[in-house]
Copies of this chain bind each other. A is one copy, B any other.
Amino acid sequence: MKHKSLAHQTCPISRCLNVIGEWWTLLIIREAFYGVKKFADFQKRLGIAKNILTTRLKQLVKDGILQLDNTSGKRSQYVLTEKGRDLIYVLVAITQWGSKWLFPSGRPSTRLADKQDLLELAPLEMRSRNGRILGAGDIEFL
């Protein structure tokens, strides 16, 4: 299905979805956080068709989320840029919501932990500028 592009909308949610709004895109980014770098490894781990993976990786490089690292003299490797690494907050939010609401029984496979003690992260908190913790009902969409 061809989408209307949301790239020029003035809402940051719309623009963000224009970049990461495809399933495969966020799953590729998840794999990059895992440390996956090579085309063949993305392909094997995601079970994604080669032509779709090629298109998505090219777009992610164009969008400045991944960059090509050819310095090792081996095949091209894809690594997250700063802009890409900054998507960690989106992945954490999605992981925590999914773990809370979509696993009525059983344990989620992906868990996000603090490297130091391997304990799971605390749930994300929304805070006002002066540090008060906010709930969904305290937020105003301007």
Contacts and interface: CB of A to CB of B under 8 A. Distances in A.
A12 B103 contact: yes
A27 B100 CA distance: 22
A51 interface: no
B122 A140 contact: no
A27 to B, nearest CB: 7
This protein's copies in its complex? 2
A129 to B, nearest CB: 5
A53 B114 CA distance: 40
Interface of A: 1, 3, 6, 9-19, 21-23, 26-27, 30, 33-34, 64, 83, 85-103, 106, 108-122, 124-129, 131-132, 134, 136-142
Given A21-B22, A88-B136, A114-B128, 15 more contacts: A12-B108, A13-B26, A13-B98, A14-B98, A16-B94, A17-B26, A17-B94, A21-B21, A83-B101, A85-B137, A89-B96, A93-B94, A115-B138, A122-B127, A124-B126
